[in-house]
Structure 1
Amino acid sequence: MDLYRSVRAVTNASGTGFVDWAAVAEAAKASTPPGDLTLTQEERTGYATDVRDARREVRRVAEVEFDLPDTVEVQNRHHWIDANVATFERVMRPIEEKGGSFFPGVARVVNTGTMAFMLSFLGKNVLGQYDPLLLAEGDPDHSLYFVRPNIQKVAAMLDVDYPRFRRWIAFHEVTHAAEFGAAPWLSGYLEQRMEEGVDTLAEGGFDRHSFQELDTAMTAVEGYAELLMDRAFDDDYEDLRRKLDERRQGGGPLARLVRRALGLGLKRRQYERGAAFFEAVADARGVAAASKVWERPENLPTDDELDHPEQWMRRVV
């Protein structure tokens, strides 16, 4: 980790945009230890087996067909940062294109530093990722990512068995692959709502409707994934969830502040609210009925239906 190089990259930010994305990548990696990526043969086999088993069990439980990305990557933190800079750049593009400043050089340095800090923080904490925004862009090289140093670190911090924790992460990410595989329209739907919201922010307004639709859709995404995890994972994982929640709520004041700023606390609310909705549907009509949510955009639950699943069942099932 080289904090001097990180600061230098930010202060030397240049170009015509409001963020120097090359400097973001350099600064984020300079302030983030990459972590070890020396996999044993046992680990290589373990990752492959976990993903294969997860695909088989999730397909069986959900009764939906889906494919996994051609590439399943086990990464270090620097690989993850490189893979996500382009996604952050694309999400922020409307603000860059429409923003303005009396001091563009100063704004560029501040914005570059902010983005670098966010990517560094996430790079040290993300365990696995299946990125729907890459699908929305039509990227043929989208991948299922596992950040090995973080998985190892968190397993040790939580005092849980590393292979078991790794397998749990694999199952969770494969459930997301199932959702986006079963609903080819979903990535574009999320992308459109995000673009509409960001466009309005860039113009100085706030599109409550777009962000509400985005939050509702992501609540469905997280809740359905929880439903599949409950029924597909071959072990009880309540202890893993509880320990991970305690870890998220802990940490220093800065870490807690950053988690709130990035909306990471909202994600747990999405898990719980979405899981309650889909559990109610599955208990009443079966998992196949719950999977109808991905047949078309109109089948997504409304914000009110999330709290009243019987209304959704009358409308859709």
Structure 2
Amino acid sequence: MIDWPLAQRLAGYVAGRPETAPLSADLGELSRDSAERVIAYTGLTPRREIPHAEPVGRDEWIRANVASMSALLDPALRSVTARVAKPARPAMELVTGVVMTAEVGVMLGFLAQRVLGQFELVLLDTTPADRPPRLLYVEPNLARAVTAFRADEREFLHWVALHEVTHAVQFAGVPWLQPHMAGMVRELLDSAQLKIDARRALRLPRSDDLKRLVEAVRTGELVTLVASPQEKATIDAMQATMAVIEGHAEHVMDAVGTPLLPSLPRLRAALDARRRSQSAPARLMMKLLGMEMKMRQYQQGKVFVDAVVRAGGIEALNRVWSSPAALPTLAEIEDPAAWLRRTDVPPALTA
């Protein structure tokens, strides 16, 4: 249904090809150093090799994500179209294919302008041997950020490497994490019951349709428009898990980076200012793409992780990696003491 080659070309057009000076720091060396420091601090022992650093341009980042997204979405879309009556199927595939191709292309192009680094992992029922994860650094975006932040290049790249390498260590050091995430994705794909009403699709939207859409855009929860209660519960579990994953990376980046990177407080302030100064269209696009939820995951997850470490040290935090059942709920993300009590951390630590 999605024309992936066309979506990739559209994304490349939207992303553009900025002229930037090449980076002089060795991202491979910085990633290896970051891995040693992250492993030493977290106590997580990788069960497989950490991916080597891959400096890429925007086009290669788009290609990598097109491969991941097509592997994820194509089976689900085939399942949806198979439920449509045969006479209506070609027209539905044509119309929705054009729309979705444009949406995916614009989305990837927009993200390709902004992403600095990515631990790229395909969240499907596959093993790392089938689809090895990649550690990508988008060079033109890093170079532009260094200039915009007036940062020391090596310090800034080391900062980014600490964050991305922490994700690599998480998934390499917690054997059940990737299958658990893949299971939730598979559950959503298998349980999705997308009902296509031709008469409703062809009519103009009513006022209540528009009100629901406006509210979903305002709150950044577009996905709930099509989620059943069971799917919403799975989405909540995924968001809580992602909050832990992102918050853990933010905490580790601070804990390891503060004594290592003298300008870290200034870099954080500059990044926060950049987020606040996004233009109105950019903020709307970020909300529609779910990127504002990503920012909340960073913030809420870091508050949770910081609180747990203050209470019981990294050892208390590492209980979160003991099993899927030990992961916090969304409510516990906002109440770390409740999670500490549920996971049997000694009462003295929850004071």
Question: TM-score, normalising length from structure 1?
Answer: 0.86
Against the structure 1 CA distance between its residues 227 and 70, is the aligned structure 2 distance closer, same or farther, given a 3 Å change threshold? closer
Aligned 8 A contact 1:37 1:75 in 2:
no
In structure 2, the residue matched to 1:15 is: none
Aligned 8 A contact 1:128 1:173 in 2:
yes
Which among 243, 247, 260 is matched to residue 219 of structure 1? Answer: 243
Letter in 1 for 2:238: L
CA distance in structure 2 between the partners assigned to 1:199 and 1:242 by the alignment: 42
Aligned 8 A contact 1:250 1:256 in 2:
no
Between the two proteins, what is the percent identity of the paired residues? 30
CA distance in structure 2 between the partners assigned to 1:173 and 1:104 by the alignment: 38
**CA-based RMSD:** 2.2
Question: TM-score, normalising length from structure 2?
Answer: 0.78
Q: Tell me how far 1:107 sits from its aligned partner.
A: 2.2
In structure 2, the residue matched to 1:184 is: 175
In structure 2, the residue matched to 1:171 is: 162
CA distance in structure 1 between the partners assigned to 2:124 and 2:97 by the alignment: 29
CA distance in structure 2 between the partners assigned to 1:174 and 1:135 by the alignment: 21
Aligned 8 A contact 2:20 2:144 in 1:
no
In structure 1, the residue matched to 2:201 is: none
Matches within 5 A, 1:252-271: 252-271=279-298
Q: Which structure 1 segments of 5+ residues have no match? A: 1-17
In structure 2, the residue matched to 1:63 is: 43
Which among 261, 265, 268 is matched to residue 235 of structure 1? Answer: 261
Q: Deviations over 1:42-71 (max 9, x none)?
A: 43xx31221122111111111121255343
In structure 2, the residue matched to 1:159 is: 150
Q: Which structure 2 segments of 5+ residues have no match? A: 196-225, 346-351
1:314 matched to 2:341 = yes
Q: Tell me how far 1:226 sits from its aligned partner.
A: 1.6
Q: Tell me how far 1:142 sits from its aligned partner.
A: 2.0
CA distance in structure 2 between the partners assigned to 1:33 and 1:244 by the alignment: 22
Against the structure 1 CA distance between its residues 107 and 264, is the aligned structure 2 distance closer, same or farther, given a 3 Å change threshold? same
Against the structure 1 CA distance between its residues 200 and 257, is the aligned structure 2 distance closer, same or farther, given a 3 Å change threshold? farther
CA distance in structure 1 between the partners assigned to 2:331 and 2:301 by the alignment: 12
CA distance in structure 1 between the partners assigned to 2:71 and 2:188 by the alignment: 14
Aligned 8 A contact 1:95 1:199 in 2:
no
In structure 2, the residue matched to 1:98 is: 80
**SS of residue matched to 1:133:** coil
- Larger deviation, residues 28-37 vs 65-74: 28-37
- Larger deviation, residues 194-203 vs 110-119: 194-203
Q: Tell me how far 1:306 sits from its aligned partner.
A: 1.6
Q: Tell me how far 1:129 sits from its aligned partner.
A: 0.4
Q: Tell me how far 1:154 sits from its aligned partner.
A: 1.6
Against the structure 1 CA distance between its residues 139 and 300, is the aligned structure 2 distance closer, same or farther, given a 3 Å change threshold? same
Q: Deviations over 1:63-89 (max 9, x none)?
A: 121255343211011110111102111
Q: Deviations over 1:199-246 (max 9, x none)?
A: 444524511111000001001111111221121111252322222122
Letter in 2 for 1:209: A
Q: Tell me how far 1:120 sits from its aligned partner.
A: 0.8
CA distance in structure 2 between the partners assigned to 1:134 and 1:308 by the alignment: 28
**SS of residue matched to 2:122:** helix
Letter in 2 for 1:299: A
Against the structure 1 CA distance between its residues 195 and 52, is the aligned structure 2 distance closer, same or farther, given a 3 Å change threshold? same
Higher radius of gyration, 1 or 2: 2
- Larger deviation, residues 186-195 vs 268-277: 186-195
**SS of residue matched to 2:15:** coil
Against the structure 1 CA distance between its residues 307 and 107, is the aligned structure 2 distance closer, same or farther, given a 3 Å change threshold? closer
Q: Deviations over 1:159-196 (max 9, x none)?
A: 22222211110011011112112212112222222333
Q: Deviations over 1:87-134 (max 9, x none)?
A: 111332313431456443232122111111111111111100012325
Letter in 1 for 2:79: E
Runs (4 or more) in structure 1 with deviation over 3 Å come to: 34-40, 67-71, 99-103, 198-202
Which among 91, 114, 120 is matched to residue 109 of structure 2? Answer: 120
Q: Tell me how far 1:152 sits from its aligned partner.
A: 0.6
CA distance in structure 2 between the partners assigned to 1:306 and 1:63 by the alignment: 22
Which among 18, 23, 41 is matched to residue 6 of structure 2? Answer: 23
Against the structure 1 CA distance between its residues 175 and 241, is the aligned structure 2 distance closer, same or farther, given a 3 Å change threshold? same
Against the structure 1 CA distance between its residues 242 and 135, is the aligned structure 2 distance closer, same or farther, given a 3 Å change threshold? farther
CA distance in structure 1 between the partners assigned to 2:107 and 2:332 by the alignment: 34
